[in-house]
Structure formats: C-alpha cells, structure tokens
A and B are shown apart, each in its own frame.
Chain A
Amino acid sequence: KAGVTQTPRYLIKTRGQQVTLSCSPISGHRSVSWYQQTPGQGLQFLFEYFSETQRNKGNFPGRFSGRQFSNSRSEMNVSTLELGDSALYLCASSPTSGGGNEQFFGPGTRLTVL
C-alpha cells in the first residue's frame, strides 16, 4: 500500500496570505489527524477528521481550519498567515478514530512564512 502523501512538500508564503495543505491517507484509512511541529513547541495536535466530520480539535485559533472529503483525503487551511505559523505540518492517518490506533505519518509540508 502507498503511504500517507502530503502536498506540497515545501511552501513559502508572506504574512497575511492564506495557504491550503493537502493530505491523502493510506487507502482504507478513514481517520486523518493534523499536527504542527516547531522546534519550540514540539508536536501539537491541530484536529482530527473521521468520515468527513471533525472529531477533535486542539488549541489553535480559528485561522486554522480543515475538512475531509468522502474519499478520506483531507485539507487544512491557514488564513491570514503569521510569522509564527512557520512550521512542519504533519498529517497522520489511521484506520478508525478509536483509541489506541497507531498513526501513520506523512513526510510533512514545510511552511515558511516571510
């Protein structure tokens, strides 16, 4: 099976712009989670989607949003970018949304905000 894919791999934006990141989970996986990774804050949970519904949300401002499509592919959007949004954004998929599922991570999208 193909692994989790994320596009694009690298992005450079300027403050105030918006950005959309895409994640395709492993075939058959219905849960997709997003994380932000920065040197100072580590891995922080953004949100999880399962069957097109947001199941869980981390402590991020409303500028961060996401959605999931019927084929389980997911997108996350960040509006009005700030310098502090520069980070590696990781997507992870798992078969279901139940507790205890191992997560399969993609390579990430490296976002740089200038």
Chain B
Amino acid sequence: AQKVTQAQTEISVVEKEDVTLDCVYETRDTTYYLFWYKQPPSGELVFLIRRNSFDEQNEISGRYSWNFQKSTSSFNFTITASQVVDSAVYFCALSGLNSGGYQKVTFGTGTKLQVIP
C-alpha cells in the first residue's frame, strides 16, 4: 500500500522568510515517482516537480528547491524568500503501480501555506 504524510496542516510565515514543507512517503515499489503540486485559492492544481526513485539529486528552480532522501523516505520542498503569491495549498503525491501494472497516485493531505506581507 502507498501512503503520503504531510504532517504540517498549516504554516504561516512572514514575507521573505524561508519555509520548508515536509513530505514523508511509504511504498513497497522499487520504482516510483514523487510529485509536488500547488493549489492556489482559484482551486486548480498546478504541477511543480516530478522525481523518480532512482534520482536522488536535489533540484533547484528559482526560489523553489526539493530535497529527496530515500533513506528517510522524504521529499521536502523549500521556498526561499517567500512571497505573498506563494500562498496556496501544496500537495505531495506518490505514483506507483497497482496490481494490474497501471499507475496509482496517492496524494498527501496538503499543507496550507500563508505568506503574510
């Protein structure tokens, strides 16, 4: 069975602070993918990043960075110098395969980030 845990329900930071969103996952698959999605107040989820289980390189994209550690089954997301536009709900997701060999995606419960000006 797959499981994704986002223990932080809500986080508030003051603009320009750095913030890290935690994601811990469980899976028995040896090949799997991890994702982060952003859901702004408008409601539409937006894809941010994908990592596969064989690529533990950290990634940086502008103010966003991701730290993937298989040893701790974590895929944490850091926003540097946060901005008000970063206010949203962020979801971590895990994609594995079901018994039929087809993709099965499990989402975490999300972390609501509020950036205060």
* Residues of A participating in the B interface, judged by any CB pair closer than 8 Å: 31, 33, 35, 42-45, 48, 50, 55-56, 88, 90, 92, 97-108
Contact = CB atoms under 8 A, between A and B. Distances in A.
Interface residues of B, number: 28
A102 B46 CA distance: 10
Nearest to B33: A100
A45 B45 contact: no
Contact of B107 (A43, A98, A104, A107): A43
Contacts of A100: 33, 50, 52, 95, 103
Given A99-B96, A100-B33, A100-B52, A42 B103 contact: no
Contact of B33 (A42, A44, A99, A105): A99
Contact of A55 (B31, B102, B106): B102
Contact of A107 (B43, B97, B109): B43
B45 A98 contact: no
A56 B108 contact: no
A104 B43 contact: no
A95 to B, nearest CB: 12
What secondary structure prevails in chain B residues at the interface with A?
strand
Interface string B61-101: 00000000000000000000000000000010001111010
25 contacts: A31-B103, A35-B107, A42-B108, A43-B107, A43-B110, A45-B105, A48-B103, A50-B102, A55-B98, A55-B100, A55-B103, A56-B102, A56-B103, A88-B43, A98-B103, A99-B32, A99-B96, A99-B97, A99-B103, A100-B50, A100-B103, A105-B44, A105-B46, A106-B44, A107-B43
Given A56-B98, A101-B95, A101-B103, 16 more contacts: A35-B107, A42-B108, A42-B109, A42-B110, A43-B91, A43-B107, A45-B105, A48-B102, A48-B103, A55-B103, A88-B43, A100-B50, A103-B45, A103-B105, A104-B47, A107-B43
A102 B110 contact: no
Interface in B1-53: 31-33, 35, 37, 42-47, 50, 52
A94 to B, nearest CB: 8
